[in-house]
Amino acid sequence: MNKSFFRKVGFGLGVDESIPSNPLEWSISQIEKLPKLNWSGPIYSLKEMMEFHGKYNYQDRRILRKKFKNSRKDYKRARKLLQYQTGHYYFEPLWLYIRHNEAVNGNSPVFHRFLHFWGNHFAIQKKNAMYSYDVGPYHREVIAPAMLKNIEDLVYEVTISWAMIHNLDNSKSIGPNSPKAFKYAERGKSANLNENHGRELLELHTVSPNAGYTQNDVIDMSKVMSGWMHRIPKMSSKIHKREENVPVHFIEAYHDSGPFNVLGKKYVESFGTKAARDMLRKVIKDLVKNPSCIEFISKKLCNHFITQDPSDEIVNSVISAWKKSKGDLKIIHSEVLKQAYKFSYLKKFQQPETWLLQFIKMSGLDYFPKDMTYDFETMIPRDKDRVRRICRNLGQLPFRPLQPNGWSDFEEDWLSPEFLFRRIGILNALKQKGKLIHLDKSYLDRIIELNFDNVSEIKTFLEMVNNNEESVALFSSKWMLKT
């Protein structure tokens, strides 16, 4: 076992830690239960965030734009005050500090590495300020608990989550054979089926294009999903929950009556709210048992935790665990850890955020603010926004992926002079501001001995580095970048 294992599946070891006597047991024990948050600062639930988001949407769309329609300057001023009142600039830095605190100071870094993986797999794009209001609670309250269940449960709970329903506009989808569509037809109108959610469920979340699905499969998958929404049509406009800011629920009147054909299997709709509601669960159960889904996600897990383009031997072990356990995520994750332990000598280039968290953990960087409370009246202070600015400068804001398939996990997308200089720039900036102290030789030696196997090679390299530059050289070295 190489010491890189602790960075492959976690964030490395801090100088006040010791090397676990049984690394595999150390890692597997962390994925067996939902860890308690180490964060002691403010935290807001999804329910609370819906109130903030709802107030922001309603006040902006229904009041300010109407009130200041003749004065853009006054509208911008009023909107800025509304953004302060609803924490528009506050919540994303808060979510990032909570996320980073659990990675660095929590007792279950391995669990949080898997949470980062699944949060990126079920990515939410930059839309309607969701990165500020919704993605943090979505990761904590939807994805994290479901990681202890079956892959079927995880996919289902993500699929009907508020964040995913809103992100992919499923509330705007009306089944063409639904009661609502028939009423529209009577008035000479047409009902629109929104295919966004159905397409991403197939393409990105389960079977992938390798399953050979067709446009007809996407259409029927979207019909199955019709009726799931986070709005109550014709709700009173006097409250800010008028449109999307209500919990997800199922309205049969918007649901297509079927039958449906998805990937060659026919699903005959049974009428009635319960049967219609349960149809989505039935289809997802089949999707996660599909060989293409099992292979796609198994390979993606191995690519993230072990090495890019993992061998068939590595991937097949995870596939086998998936099939034998019928999709039990604890078993699947355990097998990924076993393979990471077995093949710890293989190298994997780290994404910017993962590298940043490993650097913070290993160096003991003075990184976290002493207070993350907010007055909801003014712009958030710069010291409380530091983590967001660092991630932005590194080119990876975790809650704002540029594509619906999340941030790339491939070396070629990050191994460029620009991205490498960004990492060095962050190290130098922190060093100049006194955040990254000049680590003395004994401290650096301790970091190296805990986290690297080629101790003498690294120490020899650092002896050739100019004084006071050793820490920057170590954390930007090839041994740090590629675990």
Does 383 score more than 60 pLDDT?
Answer: yes
Amino acid 57: pLDDT: 86
Q: In whole angstroms, what is the distance from residue 68 CA to residue 75 CA? A: 5
**Where residue 270 falls among pLDDT bands split at 50, 70, 90?**
low
Handedness of CA 426, 88, 169, 264 (dihedral sign): positive
Q: Which residue has the higher pLDDT, 322 or 367?
A: 322
Amino acid 244: pLDDT: 57
Q: Whole-number mean pLDDT of the chain?
A: 92
265: in domain:
yes
Over its C-alpha atoms, the chain yields an Rg (Å, rounded) of 24
Closest-CA residue to 11 (of 406, 447, 334)? 447
Return the bridge partners of 229, or none.
249
133: in domain:
no
299: in domain:
no
Q: In whole angstroms, what is the distance from residue 31 CA to residue 36 CA? A: 12
Please compute the mean of the pLDDT values over residues 401-427 and round it to a whole number. Answer: 93
Who's near 37: CB < 8 A, 6+ residues apart? 43, 98, 102, 106
Amino acid 438: pLDDT: 58
Query: pLDDT per residue over 66-122, tens digit each?
Result: 999 999 999 999 999 999 999 999 999 999 999 999 999 999 999 999 999 999 999
Please compute the mean of the pLDDT values over residues 438-461 and round it to a whole number. Answer: 90
Does 44 score more than 60 pLDDT?
Answer: yes
Same domain? For 276 and 358 the reply is no
As given in the structure block, the two tokens for residue 382 are 């710069």
What is each CA distance from 329 to 27, 148, 153, 206, 450, in whole angstroms?
15, 6, 10, 14, 30
Of the three residues 287, 321, 341, the one that is the final residue of a domain is 287
**Where residue 11 falls among pLDDT bands split at 50, 70, 90?**
very high
| DSSP codes, 241-266 | TSSS-S--EE-GGGS----EEETTEE
Of the three residues 287, 311, 342, the one that is the final residue of a domain is 287
Query: pLDDT per residue over 143-192, tens digit each?
Result: 999 999 999 999 999 999 999 999 999 999 999 999 999 998 888 888 89
Who's near 274: CB < 8 A, 6+ residues apart? none
Amino acid 437: pLDDT: 56
Handedness of CA 398, 403, 404, 406 (dihedral sign): negative
What is each CA distance from 34 to 75, 114, 221, in whole angstroms?
45, 12, 32
**Where residue 436 falls among pLDDT bands split at 50, 70, 90?**
low
- Percent of the chain at pLDDT exceeding 90: 80
Query: pLDDT per residue over 199-234, tens digit each?
Result: 999 999 999 999 999 999 999 999 999 999 987 665
220: in domain:
yes
383: in domain:
yes
Same domain? For 374 and 263 the reply is no
Same domain? For 366 and 270 the reply is no
pTM across the whole model: 0.95
Same domain? For 472 and 384 the reply is yes
Q: In whole angstroms, what is the distance from residue 308 CA to residue 190 CA? A: 47
Of the three residues 287, 305, 323, the one that is the final residue of a domain is 287
Closest-CA residue to 334 (of 3, 26, 11)? 26
Q: In whole angstroms, what is the distance from residue 483 CA to residue 478 CA? A: 9
Q: In whole angstroms, what is the distance from residue 279 CA to residue 224 CA? A: 7
340: in domain:
no
Query: pLDDT per residue over 240-267, tens digit each?
Result: 444 557 889 999 999 998 899 999 999 9
Same domain? For 173 and 278 the reply is yes
- Count helices and strands in the chain by DSSP H and E runs: 26, 4
Amino acid 440: pLDDT: 79
Same domain? For 283 and 356 the reply is no
Q: In whole angstroms, what is the distance from residue 361 CA to residue 375 CA? A: 30
Same domain? For 279 and 371 the reply is no
Please compute the mean of the pLDDT values over residues 331-343 and round it to a whole number. Answer: 98
What is each CA distance from 281 to 174, 197, 228, 376, 380, in whole angstroms?
19, 15, 12, 41, 42
Same domain? For 265 and 356 the reply is no
Please compute the mean of the pLDDT values over residues 416-438 and round it to a whole number. Answer: 80
Amino acid 238: pLDDT: 47
Look up the domain containing 456 and give its range.
352-481
**Where residue 403 falls among pLDDT bands split at 50, 70, 90?**
very high
Report helix, strand and coil shares of the chain as percent, to nearest 5.
60, 5, 40
Same domain? For 387 and 473 the reply is yes
Contact between 372 and 387 under an 8 Å Cβ cutoff? The reply is no
Q: How many domains does the chain have?
A: 2
Q: In whole angstroms, what is the distance from residue 300 CA to residue 315 CA? A: 9
111: in domain:
no
Same domain? For 460 and 356 the reply is yes
423: in domain:
yes
Helices 386-394 and 352-363: crossing angle in degrees, nearest 10, is 130
